[in-house]
Homo-oligomer: A and B are copies of this chain.
């Protein structure tokens, strides 16, 4: 494995999504500064959570498709560690 991340094919799309999320987060900060109604702020927070979740699930799919697949093809401890690492990342995501 040459250190190229699993998401490199869709890197630009991820950067675009993250920039959009950055804008949404800045928007929430401004809503709070402008004393906007709590429920409207909460609605935006839930929207950002959903957007982040979508980014994470894409990254995870690409990680399984490339990094985990390469490691499994290599076999042995490299594969075991890569799977353990992926499972821990999935657990953090499920629990966040």
Q: Could you give, for residues 17-28 of chain A, a 1 whenever the CB lies within 8 Å of some chain B CB and a 0 otherwise?
A: 011011001101
CA distance A36 to B63 in the complex (A): 12
Residues from chain B with Cβ under 8 Å of A48 in the complex: 52
Known pairs A11-B32, A87-B57, A92-B46; A5 contacts B52 (CB<8 A) = no
Interface residues on A, range: 35 or more
Min C-beta distance of A73 to chain B, whole Å? 7
Known pairs A33-B15, A83-B69; A45 contacts B52 (CB<8 A) = yes
Asked whether B79 lies within 8 Å of A69 as measured between CB atoms, the reply is: yes
Asked whether B32 lies within 8 Å of A60 as measured between CB atoms, the reply is: no
Residues from chain B with Cβ under 8 Å of A55 in the complex: 45
